[in-house]
Amino acid sequence: MSKLPFSVGIFWKTLVVVVVLVVIAWSLYLRFSDYEMNAADYGGTIICTILLAYLVHLWLLPAEQLHGDTTDGDEEKDHDEDDKSQE
């Protein structure tokens, strides 16, 4: 089973931006409508904000990390050539 791609640095930066945008969006919506938030809105907003941040984080990941390639093929070739030269 393969792991889901995740980059801590990109995710935290993305989460901060998404949280700010969600707060602004809720503020504008509540200001210009007569809707009153209830308890379910807080929980749903938190869950959706985290999921949206993860999806945006996946969009921003470099292709190598997205496909699980963490090493270059050149590094493996260099190690193989060193092993052959030592024999």
The predicted-structure confidence for 33-42, as pLDDT tens digits, reads as follows 999 999 999 9
Domain span at residue 17 reads: 8-86
**Quick check: is 1 in a domain?**
no
**Quick check: is 2 in a domain?**
no
Tell the residue number behind the tokens 């024999």, with chain if given.
Answer: 87
**Quick check: is 3 in a domain?**
no
**Quick check: is 81 in a domain?**
yes
pLDDT value at residue 83: 55
- For residue 33, give the DSSP letter: S
Nearest Cα neighbor of 48 from 36, 40, 60, 38 is: 40
**Quick check: is 59 in a domain?**
yes
pTM of the predicted model over 0.85? no
How many folded domains does the chain comprise? 1
**Quick check: is 55 in a domain?**
yes
Q: What are phi and psi of 6, to 5 degrees?
A: -155, 130
Nearest Cα neighbor of 62 from 3, 14, 2, 6 is: 6
pLDDT digits (tens, 9 = 90+) for 41-77: 999 999 999 999 999 999 999 888 877 655 544 444 5
pLDDT value at residue 84: 55
